[in-house]
Amino acid sequence: MAAGILALAAMIFAVTARSQSVPIGTLEGTVLDGQGKPVADASVTIQTSDGLHPHATHTDADGHFEFTRWKAGEYDVRAYGNGLFSQWNKHIMIRSKKATKITLRLPRTADEKVTVSN
């Protein structure tokens, strides 16, 4: 029985040590409209720079958003609010144990929408 408890403790320690060794950081920022005012409840999407693993969050009343505990690396980010998309902000670096800050800007009008094609 003591050997089983010791083995279980060793496994828990190994899993905990491995999860702590993954470099993680934070991406935070603000979404602004065409006049430079914060956009509440805008959708912000982040994905790996190869276009995989998209995740989304929404801005608060001050246009602020945050993605916490992300693996360090390169990501692409864009916002959608007021019926308009921002451009993709490409190759945003999330660094280990740091907060990367960005500002996403929506176009002034629908005529300024960005068309993305493959």
pLDDT tens per residue across span 8-18: 555 555 554 44
Q: Which domain holds residue 74?
A: 24-111
CATH number for 62: 2.60.40.10
Residues 6+ apart with CB under 8 A from 62: 30, 38, 40
Confidence (pTM): 0.74
Q: How many structural domains is the chain composed of?
A: 1
In a domain, 2, yes or no: no
Dump the DSSP string for 51-66: S-S-EEEE--TTSEEE
As a whole number of angstroms, the distance between CA 36 and CA 95 comes to 27
Q: What is the pLDDT of residues 39-95, one digit of tens each?
A: 999 999 999 999 889 999 999 999 999 999 999 999 999 999 999 999 999 999 999
Q: How high is the pLDDT of residue 108?
A: 86
The DSSP 8-state label assigned to residue 14 in this structure reads: H
In a domain, 116, yes or no: no
Q: Is 15 helix (H, G, I), strand (E, B) or coil?
A: helix
Residues 6+ apart with CB under 8 A from 34: 105, 106, 107, 108, 109, 112
Task: Decide: 37 and 105 in contact? Cβ < 8 Å.
Answer: no
In a domain, 46, yes or no: yes
